[in-house]
Homo-oligomer: A and B are copies of this chain.
Amino acid sequence: MAIELQGHRGARGLLPENTLPAFERAIAIGVDTLELDVGVTRDGVLVIHHDRRLNPDLARGPDGKWIAAPGPAIHSLGFEELERYDVGRLRPGSEYASRFPHQQPVDGTRIPRLEELFKKNTQVRFNIETKISPEAPQETLAPEPFARALIAEVRKAGVAARTTIQSFDWRTLAVVEREAPEIATAYLTSRRNSDPAKVHAAGGRIWSAPFEELSVQKLEAARNLGVKVIVWTVNEPADIARMIGLGVDGIISDYPDRVLEQLKRTGAR
């Protein structure tokens, strides 16, 4: 009944999100799982980035300037083009940067291939989100080829048993369940649509819920349905405490160090 500790985008509170330094830090802290996001480049490379379009709050071009909004779609760029961008520092003065005052920049850091990350560690689990939306079909691969590309990469690395694929776009999860039943799936819900019954009705066994929406009642409902509950993104000490106390199945945090400290205090680690 241990609570699974997941480092959000590695450890976004501490180091640039979805980069190898952040993943290495999360592993050093002792997370069970690296939470991360993937897209697919024009030439079919699985890369780790949260946004369907390159994020102007963290990507700098070869000229050293943060890119203009909207950034180019990941899927519109070849991998070599993508590697020209530096994602090691949040745009100074941005609202986004103000949200992560403890994030240490690592200038020169590039968007990693998923393959590189898989090679880094033989113990840690992966919770990989497919960044795709029915509202922006032109910005990514379609659900089937997207899911298949990810499945292939997971299988090639031999990490299926340590991998969960999560998505707000449940179409990709259906593909995974049908074509790669050895890989677990997790159903992300938005703040206005957080109902474990819907997850269960869709065949889901893991519900990845915004923590603000989780009540004792919803947690109980999920348990009665046999649905596990992972919560995101839990950063403040009082919230971390509340989630641990509820006995959720997993906690996704930008500050996995804080969660681990609190787990130790409660005797749950």
Interface residues of A (CB under 8 A from B): 1-3, 215-216, 237-238, 240-247, 262, 264-269
Q: Quote the shortest CB–CB distance from A60 to chain B (angstroms).
A: 37
In the docked arrangement, what's the CA distance between A35 and B238, Å? 28
On whether the beta carbons of B238 and A241 are closer than 8 Å, the reply is no
Most B CB contacts (10 A, CB to CB) among A2, A240, A241 go to A241
On whether the beta carbons of B216 and A241 are closer than 8 Å, the reply is yes
On whether the beta carbons of B1 and A267 are closer than 8 Å, the reply is yes
In the docked arrangement, what's the CA distance between A237 and B247, Å? 11
With A216-B237, A216-B241, A237-B216: A2-B246 Cβ-Cβ less than 8 Å: no
- Do most interface residues of chain A lie in helix, strand or loop, or is the interface mixed? helix
In the docked arrangement, what's the CA distance between A3 and B58, Å? 43
In the docked arrangement, what's the CA distance between A264 and B266, Å? 12
Chain B residue nearest to A262 (CB atoms) is B247
Task: Please provide the 8 A-B residue pairs with the shortest distance between their CB atoms, ordered closest to farther.
Answer: A245-B245, A247-B265, A241-B245, A244-B245, A247-B266, A267-B268, A2-B267, A1-B267
- Across the interface, A247 reaches (CB within 8 A) one of B1, B2, B241, namely B241
On whether the beta carbons of A262 and B237 are closer than 8 Å, the reply is no
- Across the interface, A241 reaches (CB within 8 A) one of B2, B242, B264, B268, namely B242
On whether the beta carbons of B238 and A216 are closer than 8 Å, the reply is yes
Q: Quote the shortest CB–CB distance from A1 to chain B (angstroms).
A: 4
On whether the beta carbons of A1 and B245 are closer than 8 Å, the reply is no
On whether the beta carbons of A245 and B216 are closer than 8 Å, the reply is no
- Across the interface, A268 reaches (CB within 8 A) one of B215, B246, B266, namely B266
Determine the chain B residues whose CB is within 8 A of the CB of A267 once the complex forms.
1-3, 247, 268-269
For this complex, 7 residue pairs linking A to B, each with C-beta atoms less than 8 Å apart, are A216-B237, A216-B241, A240-B245, A241-B246, A245-B246, A266-B266, A267-B269
With A244-B245, A245-B244: A266-B1 Cβ-Cβ less than 8 Å: yes
Determine the chain B residues whose CB is within 8 A of the CB of A264 once the complex forms.
1
Determine the chain B residues whose CB is within 8 A of the CB of A240 once the complex forms.
245
On whether the beta carbons of B216 and A265 are closer than 8 Å, the reply is no
Determine the chain B residues whose CB is within 8 A of the CB of A215 once the complex forms.
238
In the docked arrangement, what's the CA distance between A266 and B245, Å? 6
In the docked arrangement, what's the CA distance between A265 and B244, Å? 9
In the docked arrangement, what's the CA distance between A245 and B241, Å? 4
Q: Quote the shortest CB–CB distance from A240 to chain B (angstroms).
A: 7
In the docked arrangement, what's the CA distance between A238 and B219, Å? 11
